[in-house]
Amino acid sequence: MPALTRAMRVLPITVMVGASFSFLALPGSARADDILDGTQNTETEQRAETGPEGTVGVTVGGVVFDRSKNGSGGSAGALTSSTSWTPPPCWYAPKYTPEQLQKYLEPIWEVGSTGYEWDAKQREKYNAKDEKKGFNKDKTGKGYWWSSYVNKSYPPGWDSCDEDYFWVDTGDAPPADIENAVTPEVLAELAYAEIRVPGTEVTLAPAEATKVNLPTWAWLDVAEFKPVSVTASVEAIGIEATATAEPVSLEIKPGTADAETYPASGVCEINDGRIGEPYAKGKADATPPCGVKYLRSSGDGTFPLQATVTWEIHWTGSGGAGGDLPDGAFGATQNVVVQEIQAVNR
């Protein structure tokens, strides 16, 4: 399907793969050509876009994501919502101009495999016989035909966007009864799914191996743990939303019941923009603001210390819209060696 006009300079990375599909895509259902990583030879594109300041976005299913302020690195990962909430598995966005929809549908009707009666109803619905007004050609440049797009991971509900093509005039909101038609809030939810945050391997002191009954200090690199964000936009209709994740706390689970955490809850709140505090010489007898004390040796093995950072998510969007989304969490496990303190007899 022809891509919509873009305001930014476009560097095409077209996804064109095998053309072996045994069924015909029909309006009114989740169509194969709308699936982001489909196996059909279509004009669906994923496009890298470079703006005037070098920011890079990626077009996915009618939505452009700017991930230039996202977390990066090999250990970065996606957030898990703290509730049962999940981002939209599918959504509706502008897809066709009147001429584009006509070019897409008429070959389907001409094949005849969908049945004469169905084809006739479709031609009547889109007023196909009227050369000037069919498919809303008299509104060219004043709106778009909208359709569904599907998350490529096929989460539960991916096939729930089964509305037929519908028209939306430029400047009008999509029909209120169509769930997940893109609005600033829906774009914020889609942006949430694209957020990646830094890995959560904590720095420990002592570093190589800690000792039984010795407080071990734990902290995270302040330079990495800053707010990250993703912006989602639909340039064709001029709306956007930015979802921002901010770290708020680090939870430490020592990996054994024979341990004490600092603080006792195991949750280290952010203080002055820092999670934990680096150990400094002369603090051997001090209590760490964030850390753990193991009460027994790990023997020939290790203890799996789990560190999980909680991130608060808020969003802002076109027209002054904004709000909060459920907190997200991202964690990792690292192995800790705990040794007995060796006494020296004289």
Residue with tokens 């909680």: 310
What's CA 69's distance to the chain center, in Å? 13
Instruction: Please check whether residue 65 is in contact with residue 93, taking contact to mean a CB–CB distance below 8 angstroms.
Output: no
Residues paired with residue 323 on neighbouring β-strands, in sequence order = 315
The residues near 78 (Cβ < 8 Å, ≥ 6 apart) are 193, 195, 196, 330
Pairing of strands 338-339, 203-205: unpaired
Per-residue pLDDT tens digits for 293-334: 999 999 999 999 999 999 999 999 999 999 999 999 999 999
Higher pLDDT, 86 or 33: 86
**Collapsing DSSP states into helix, strand and coil, what is residue 333?**
strand
Under 8 Å between Cβ of 323 and 72: no
Q: What is the pLDDT of residues 123-170, one digit of tens each?
A: 999 999 999 999 999 999 999 999 999 988 889 999 999 999 999 999
Average pLDDT, stretch 91-97? 94
Q: What single letter denotes the amino acid at residue 264?
A: A
Q: What is the pLDDT of residues 270-301, one digit of tens each?
A: 887 788 999 998 887 789 999 999 999 999 99
- Please give the Cα distance from 39 to 21 (Å, whole number): 8
Structure tokens at 120: 């006739």
* Neighbouring residues of 51: CB distance < 8 A, sequence distance ≥ 6: 8, 9, 57
